[in-house]
Structure 1
Amino acid sequence: MTGGGPTTGTGSRTARPAGRHGLLVELPDAEHTAAFHAEVLRRRAAGSLPPVTDVVPGARTVLLDGVPDPQALARGVADWEVPPVTDDTGDVLEIPVRYDGPDLADVAALWGVGPDEVGALHGFHTFRVAFCGFAPGFGYLTGLPPHLHVPRRSTPRTRVPAGAVALAGPYSAVYPRATPGGWQLIGTMSDPRPLWDPARKPPALLMPGTRVRFVTADDDGTESTTADGTRAEAGA
């Protein structure tokens, strides 16, 4: 629940207390949200941020929880210089995929290519986990250029299998478990690592800020081929 404290804003972000110890920062778009989230993590690691127990990014928001004085932090956030996020820094998590999804032909038609070209186009881009939601371990990955955005299915499926690689709007995703869903299914993850494992720290394989590349897996799933034709071990 949003608290009754003052709202502090700049041209690109607005911060308002949320409850007694929360601060909700609203951003204009995914790019500003990713940049602000990265800046929060940088300042937190550097010790220049007041104590914060949780940092939760959304599509256009970042929630900071466990803040001793949300109103003071809101005023400080207004003065932050936040550099844009670059896609050429940080490790890249490779996810091998068999491009065998039931919506592959439909997506190919929307892209104006043949079904056998979808994997190369999808794997050409580097993605970043913008935020998590919907189900534990479900990461919303940005990185597709606008001309490759596709609509959700007009009729959602009652069951999407675990490991399905999917597209909807500007996002790519991998379903961590079987659930209903309305995204376009283009492939199947062929990686033995679970996307969500409560015994792992952190439990989600796809954490906000993680850079991801999808690589085309061989039939046996033991190797994969990147968009530039180089070889990589599946699950590396």
Structure 2
Amino acid sequence: MSNAAITSCGDDALRFDMPERAIRLARARQLQASGDWIEVVPGRRDITVQFNPHIDTPQSARARLSNTMSKALPSEARSMQHVRLPVHFGGDNGPDLAGIAHSLDLSQSDLIAQLTAQPLDVDMLGFTPGFAYMSGLSERLEIPRLSQPRQQVPPGSVGLITGQCGLYALAGPGGWPLIGRTDVSLFDASADDPFKLQPGMQVQLVDADES
């Protein structure tokens, strides 16, 4: 990677574009494992790293990052963790499912079948702590955000907008239409990494109420 591909973000962070998802997430894990950075944040098309400005200059941090990016990925960095997540769709758990299905001219069961047909990719965390942005759905599922966000969304709720699912690890406000909720805890304060889902994982949604 050339230095020209690395841009500064303030006085203590660097960002570089990496559109290819699998390589981006593997690189992020490699950078996290190195221990060289205060924080490594993979985005939808880039990675941002934060360095300690009391130890590194922007130039030395840029040089170290460029050197790391020139190295081959270790084989273990390419591994992908799969998570199976039972979800209660519709009803009080997913109050917007029926309306979404109607707007798409689908039955609720057909919409659920599309959501559970294949694993979804966790691209990044953000918006609220632990909120997982997941891709892998058809862009033809055109679903806008709510015109009036909810003040409180229960933890474990599954949101849906065009082409994406979102999982709320913690309770809080949210503007995504809600289609279901999982009983699986997505947050464990006692764990070294408190959030169950991380970028690079694949999540298979499963209908918890299917007979």
Q: Do both share a fold (TM > 0.5)?
A: yes
Q: After alignment, is 209-218 or 172-181 more displaced?
A: 172-181
| Structure 1 residues 16 and 81: alpha-carbon distance in aligned structure 2, compared to 1, 3 A threshold | farther
1:1-236 pair list within 5 angstroms: 8-9=3-4, 14-19=5-10, 21-27=12-18, 31-32=19-20, 35-42=23-30, 51-66=36-51, 68=56, 69-73=60-64, 75-76=66-67, 90-100=80-90, 101-191=94-184, 193=185, 195-218=186-209
What SS does the corresponding residue of 2:116 show, helix, strand or coil? helix
Identical-pair percentage: 30
* Coordinate RMSD, CA, aligned: 2.9
Q: Distance in 2 between matches of 1:56 and 1:185?
A: 26
| Structure 1 residues 73 and 147: alpha-carbon distance in aligned structure 2, compared to 1, 3 A threshold | farther
Contact 1:129–1:207 (8 Å) recurs in 2 = yes
1:130 CA drift (Å): 0.9
| Structure 1 residues 116 and 199: alpha-carbon distance in aligned structure 2, compared to 1, 3 A threshold | same
1:58 CA drift (Å): 2.1
Q: Structure 2 counterpart of 1:92, which letter?
A: H
TM-score (norm 1): 0.70
Unaligned segments of structure 2, at least 5 residues:
74-78
Q: Distance in 2 between matches of 1:43 and 1:63?
A: 10
1:141 CA drift (Å): 1.0
Contact 1:163–1:175 (8 Å) recurs in 2 = yes
Contact 1:141–1:171 (8 Å) recurs in 2 = yes
Q: Structure 1 counterpart of 2:29, which letter?
A: L
Superposed CA offset, 1:171-224 (max 9, x none): 212222322211011111132x2x122211211101111110100003xxxxx6
Q: Structure 1 counterpart of 2:81, which letter?
A: D
1:165 CA drift (Å): 1.0
Superposed CA offset, 1:10-43 (max 9, x none): xxxx31133555321135xxx5355323234247
What SS does the corresponding residue of 2:20 show, helix, strand or coil? helix
Q: Distance in 2 between matches of 1:19 and 1:157?
A: 33
TM-score (norm 2): 0.78
1:119 CA drift (Å): 1.6
Q: Distance in 1 between matches of 2:64 and 2:8?
A: 9
Q: Distance in 2 between matches of 1:91 and 1:186?
A: 24
Contact 1:94–1:213 (8 Å) recurs in 2 = yes
Structure 1 counterpart of 2:76: none
